[in-house]
């Protein structure tokens, strides 16, 4: 698979929300973007707060923009705040440097999109994203340092 289609993107978002329900997470929002950063699907659970769609999109978009999962972007924000601040200014504030933004890679390792989850703690958001991507047989790149 070299591109991310609507069917697969929808399945990822639905699986992420289902994982959240299994884990008794707070109401989640899932955004799936293609490799160019364009929104394919956004699912917002009943009760998810007002800003969750923008946060979910920002986590996924930031992962694509910087080429790494948002966990590493969050670490960069701690270690190199001037760089992430400058990158976010260049991105018109679209980066959300918190775990929950996961690159989606195909079997060959090529980035085909990203998923961003928001609603619970960043760690739970990320777990839901990783679980959803892997459930569809794709590779989840959350930016976890090896």
**Along the chain (146 residues), what's the average pLDDT of each consecutive run of 10 residues?**
89 98 98 97 97 97 95 94 93 94 96 98 97 97 72
CATH assignment at residue 68: 3.30.450.150
Query: What are the φ/ψ torsions at residue 52 (nearest 5 degrees)?
Result: -60, -40
Are residues 122 and 48 in contact, defined by beta-carbon separation less than 8 angstroms? Answer: no
Q: In this predicted structure, what is the pLDDT of residue 146?
A: 42
How many domains, in total, are found in the chain?
A: 1
Is position 1 within any domain? no
The rounded distance, in Å, linking the Cα atoms of 40 and 115 is 10
Query: What are the φ/ψ torsions at residue 19 (nearest 5 degrees)?
Result: -65, -40
Is position 130 within any domain? yes
The whole model's pTM is what? 0.94
Is position 146 within any domain? no
């Amino acid at each position: 698979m070299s591109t991310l289609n609507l069917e697969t993107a929808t399945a990822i978002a639905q699986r992420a929300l289902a994982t959240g329900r299994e884990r008794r997470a707070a109401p989640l929002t899932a955004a799936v973007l293609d490799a160019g950063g364009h929104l394919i699907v956004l699912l917002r659970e009943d009760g998810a707060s007002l800003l969750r769609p923008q946060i979910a999109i920002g986590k996924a978009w930031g992962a694509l923009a910087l080429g790494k999962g948002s966990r590493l972007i969050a670490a960069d924000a701690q270690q190199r705040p001037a760089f992430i601040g400058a990158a976010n200014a260049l991105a018109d504030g679209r980066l959300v440097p918190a775990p929950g933004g996961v690159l989606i890679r195909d079997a060959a390792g090529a980035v085909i999109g990203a998923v961003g989850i928001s609603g619970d703690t960043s760690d739970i958001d990320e777990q839901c994203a990783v679980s959803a991507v892997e459930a569809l047989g794709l590779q989840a790149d959350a930016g976890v340092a090896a």
